[in-house]
Amino acid sequence: MRYLTSLALFAPFAAAIWPLPSSYTSGDTVLWIDGGVQISYNAANNVGSILAANALKEYAPVDPQLTTNPQSYPHSYWNKNRNSTAGHRASQQIIQYAIQRTYDTVLKKNFVPWKFHERNEDFEPPTEDKTFISRITLQQNAADPDNILTPRAGDLDESYSLSLTEDGEATIEAETSIGLVRGLTTFTQLFYKHSAGGAYTPFAPVEIEDEPKFPHRGLNMDTSRNYFSVSDIKRTIDAMAYNKFNRLHWHITDAQSWPLEIPALPELAAKGAYRRDLTYTPGNFEEIQYFAAIQGVEVIVEIDMPGHTSSIWFSQPELITAFNAQPDWNTYCAEPPCGSLKLNSTAVYDFLATMWDDLLPRVRSSYFHTGGDEVNVNAYLLDDTVRSNDTAVLQPLMQRFIDFNHGRVREAGLTPVVWEEMLLTWNLTLGDDVVIQTWQSDEAVAEVVAAGHKALVGNYNYWYLDCGKGQWLDFAPGLASQKYWPYNDYCSPRKNWRLMYSYDPLHGIPANSSHLVLGGECHIWAEQTDPINFDDMVWPRACAAAEVLWSGAKDENGQNRSQIEASPRLSEMRERLVARGVRAEPIQMPFCIMNGTQCSLAT
């Protein structure tokens, strides 16, 4: 009796689309899909209607060079897209890749959803008399901008609508090719693998209208403290796009290693990378940006300065102050090895000019992040060009430093991004264009927008994925240290998906300033993360941030969205990530998922 009662608690089974669409209705008709489905792509641009592809199948890669040796990776993609038919050609590349991913996801990397049904339930549809989806129409209502792969002018329209009729006609409609990509991503989440083979949706008819709440939805990945291969980064971009993230913040260099090859400064990576082969060549750099762009993910490169630059010391020690100060490192920096670019050095400015001339023209984004976090003034006590930790002395030098860098960034047609300290701690005068990335508090966001600046959120008490492993520092023996090391890394404890999901980027922001909150990022710093554990450190927890940024933190009643609704849906998203080769951790045991809301607790 108790058990029967509890059965009634089961939520109606519906497609577990993540992130949640703006509106969504579905039915319970089963439709199958296979490689025979006809696909048409109708784009309302000046070229007229294009048949991009005539079946859902495995295409050759969009460009064969995508799979060639990264060392010889050519720089031709972007040039191809700069001529007069660039938008047209780019749109075709985008759609062709999206169809490839749809094929791969639905027909090859899908999963049997037994965990989401009662134990030993015979939940799969019969395999006789299958009705197949006959056609997918991709309808693009506006021409893509020419720069769709190299967005220089703000944000793309990513909205779409999706319709799937009971008789097997699917239509996805959008203003841009990337909108169609988002719609196809949603489309794949309607389908399951059948244990007898094939894929089906049990949810027809389906009607979806969808658009993102925030234009900036990012993950920040640190490739300095540990090196991640091109394939690790591509796997991450793929998982990001599957969560409708659209910004990969690539924190590419830091104190511990400099993996980015700058051909004009060849010793920088040759001596500053962890190993000579653990670098990103210009080819890798291009490949990663392209791989992201065709999925609607913009790569925002960060060279963090003037702190977090100790790895430059290995090639040019004369540029760095306080390098690896020991053993009193915590006087000079936030973590070993200490080191900052000297603040009043001609040699530093020469270095920067050379780097910018080399690097900035190769950036395929609308933004460039110049860093600026955690600058410790004591480092400049040891700086022979300054010899002071007095902010009255240092502040004008920092202003000059930022002005120089942001000038170069703007000359390259890019918008600067900085960490909050440049505005809130150093009180620098920053251009109106500069985007301020906050991380320390919700109050910081409020201060940034009150100053009229655009802000990114990512409060470390909510969205830092690295927290909670305890200290990675080794402590001297003795019980006195015990209070520090078991738990207290600076951002302990671990942020679970529930906490991340409760974080509202607009918390405490006046309505008339909310347009200045462009969105936010979750962060995976790599002190205790390398390619072996990266996936399960990031996924599926980052999905919680993805949904907040796409769907908003609040439900239709203005309340935090319900964990109880989100939890089984996130568990299903996790299974989809695992099926595509991402080692996302489980958030609940199968018993809980099988039994709907029975692993809940009212308080």
Residues within window 470-489 making contact with its own copies, judged by CB under 8 A: 470-478, 480-482, 484-487
Contact partners, residue 126, CB within 8 Å, separation at least 6: none
Comparing CB distances to its own copies, the nearer of 227 and 290 is 227
Instruction: Tell me the closest approach of the beta carbon of residue 7 to its own copies, in angstroms.
Output: 10
| CA nearest neighbour of 348 among 318, 310, 383 | 318
Is 564 a binding residue for its own copies by CB under 8 A? The answer is yes
Q: Which of residues 439-468 bind its own copies (CB under 8 A)?
A: 468
HSE toward the beta carbon, residue 136, CA cutoff 13 A: 29
Comparing CB distances to its own copies, the nearer of 1 and 511 is 1
Which residue is associated with the tokens 């969504």?
A: 24
Comparing CB distances to its own copies, the nearer of 6 and 231 is 6
Is 5 a binding residue for its own copies by CB under 8 A? The answer is yes
Q: Where are the beta strands (DSSP E) in 259-325?
A: 298-303, 320-321
Instruction: Tell me the closest approach of the beta carbon of residue 120 to its own copies, in angstroms.
Output: 7
Only segment of 46-54, 72-80, 438-446, 532-540 that touches its own copies (CB under 8 A) = 532-540
Angle between helices 86-103 and 177-188 (to 10 degrees): 0
- β-strand pairing of 160-164 with 199-210: antiparallel
User: Based on C-alpha coordinates, what's the Rg of the chain?
Assistant: 25
Is 592 a binding residue for its own copies by CB under 8 A? The answer is yes
Instruction: Tell me the closest approach of the beta carbon of residue 565 to its own copies, in angstroms.
Output: 9
Q: How far apart are CA 395 and CA 424, in angstroms?
A: 12
| CA nearest neighbour of 300 among 529, 21, 523 | 523
DSSP for 188-248, please give it. HTT-EE-TTSSEEEEEEEEEEEE--S-SEEEEEEE-SSS---HHHHHHHHHHHHHTT--EE
Is 12 a binding residue for its own copies by CB under 8 A? The answer is no
Only segment of 73-81, 204-212, 448-456, 531-539 that touches its own copies (CB under 8 A) = 531-539
Comparing CB distances to its own copies, the nearer of 121 and 443 is 121
Is 9 a binding residue for its own copies by CB under 8 A? The answer is yes
CA angle 441, 443, 446 (to 5 degrees): 125
Instruction: Tell me the closest approach of the beta carbon of residue 371 to its own copies, in angstroms.
Output: 18
Only segment of 57-65, 123-131, 395-403, 594-602 that touches its own copies (CB under 8 A) = 594-602
Comparing CB distances to its own copies, the nearer of 157 and 585 is 585
Comparing CB distances to its own copies, the nearer of 159 and 253 is 253
Instruction: Tell me the closest approach of the beta carbon of residue 589 to its own copies, in angstroms.
Output: 4
Phi then psi dihedrals of residue 579, to 5 deg = -60, -30
Contact 454, 461 (CB under 8 A): no
| CA nearest neighbour of 273 among 228, 232, 237 | 228
Amino acid at 341: L
- β-strand pairing of 320-321 with 340-341: antiparallel
Is 602 a binding residue for its own copies by CB under 8 A? The answer is yes
Is 66 a binding residue for its own copies by CB under 8 A? The answer is no
Is 392 a binding residue for its own copies by CB under 8 A? The answer is no
Q: Which of residues 222-261 bind its own copies (CB under 8 A)?
A: 225-226, 255-257
Is 119 a binding residue for its own copies by CB under 8 A? The answer is yes
Comparing CB distances to its own copies, the nearer of 132 and 591 is 591
Contact 259, 227 (CB under 8 A): yes
Active-site residue, 335 included: no
Q: Point out the catalytic residue in the list 166, 209, 211, 374.
A: 374
Only segment of 239-247, 294-302, 407-415, 520-528 that touches its own copies (CB under 8 A) = 520-528
Residue selected from 64, 275, 346, 432 as contacting its own copies according to rule CB under 8 A: 275
Per-residue string for binding with its own copies, 489-508, x by CB under 8 A?
A: ---xxxxx-xx--x------
H or E segment and range at residue 573: helix 563-579
Contact 432, 451 (CB under 8 A): no
Contact 98, 181 (CB under 8 A): yes
| Residue ranges in 367-441 assigned as alpha helix (H) | 391-411, 421-424
Instruction: Tell me the closest approach of the beta carbon of residue 311 to its own copies, in angstroms.
Output: 9
Contact 372, 305 (CB under 8 A): yes
Residue selected from 24, 59, 123, 274 as contacting its own copies according to rule CB under 8 A: 274
Is 357 a binding residue for its own copies by CB under 8 A? The answer is no
CA angle 390, 392, 395 (to 5 degrees): 100
Q: Which of residues 120-179 bind its own copies (CB under 8 A)?
A: 120
Residue selected from 3, 154, 197, 346 as contacting its own copies according to rule CB under 8 A: 3
Comparing CB distances to its own copies, the nearer of 49 and 195 is 195
Size of the site for its own copies (CB under 8 A): 88
Instruction: Tell me the closest approach of the beta carbon of residue 262 to its own copies, in angstroms.
Output: 17
Is 523 a binding residue for its own copies by CB under 8 A? The answer is no
Residue selected from 386, 509, 526, 545 as contacting its own copies according to rule CB under 8 A: 526
599 CB-contact burial (10 Å; exposed 0-12 / middle 13-18 / buried 19+): middle
Comparing CB distances to its own copies, the nearer of 9 and 51 is 9
Q: Which of residues 286-345 bind its own copies (CB under 8 A)?
A: 314, 323-327, 329-330, 336-337
Comparing CB distances to its own copies, the nearer of 73 and 258 is 258
Is 268 a binding residue for its own copies by CB under 8 A? The answer is no
Instruction: Tell me the closest approach of the beta carbon of residue 414 to its own copies, in angstroms.
Output: 30
Contact 265, 312 (CB under 8 A): no
Q: Which of residues 533-562 bind its own copies (CB under 8 A)?
A: 533, 536, 559-560, 562
Which two three-digit tokens encode residue 188? 């794949």
Instruction: Tell me the closest approach of the beta carbon of residue 532 to its own copies, in angstroms.
Output: 5
Which two three-digit tokens encode residue 412? 């390259």
Comparing CB distances to its own copies, the nearer of 317 and 510 is 317
CA distance from start to end of the chain = 24
Is 114 a binding residue for its own copies by CB under 8 A? The answer is yes
| CA nearest neighbour of 176 among 211, 146, 140, 150 | 140
Instruction: Tell me the closest approach of the beta carbon of residue 514 to its own copies, in angstroms.
Output: 21
Which two three-digit tokens encode residue 472? 């990675």
Which residue is associated with the tokens 């996790």?
A: 574
Query: Catalytic amino acids?
Result: 374
